[in-house]
Amino acid sequence: MKCSIPILNDFSDKAPRYFDILTLGKETVFHLAVEHKNIPTFYIVAESPDRNNLLHQVDRYDNTVLHIAVMSSCYSVSFFLALLISVWKLKRHLGLLNKLSGVD
């Protein structure tokens, strides 16, 4: 699963909805990129905030992208995802604190 980065960028710009399609095994483009150790592809696709929901998608074996990254020894992706998850949890926690304190 090797690809040209300029072609991937062009495809992402012109047909972004195709990145949301799952395989028969319920894998996302993130699962496939990490499973095949195509790290540049992972980061290019991850640049789009519209695709963050795909990072939570589980495949047919209930593995998230983080699980696949760890199993594939893609440690830079594992670290990136761990940080991203921490940020999401912090934002959710801060949102709850703001609601409790009445801050808008």
pLDDT band at 30 (very low <50, low <70, confident <90, very high): very high
pLDDT at 44: 87
Across the chain, what does the average pLDDT equal? 87
**Among candidates 2, 95, 14, which has minimal Cα distance to 40?**
2
pTM across the whole model: 0.78
Residue with the two structure tokens 């939570």: 56
**Percent residues over pLDDT 90 in the chain:** 46
pLDDT at 85: 87
pLDDT at 2: 56
Distance between CA 1 and CA 12 in Å, rounded? 16
Distance between CA 81 and CA 96 in Å, rounded? 22
Q: What domains can you pick out in the chain, each with its CATH number?
A: 5-101 (1.25.40.20)
Residue type, 102: G
Cβ-contact 104, 98 below 8 angstroms: yes
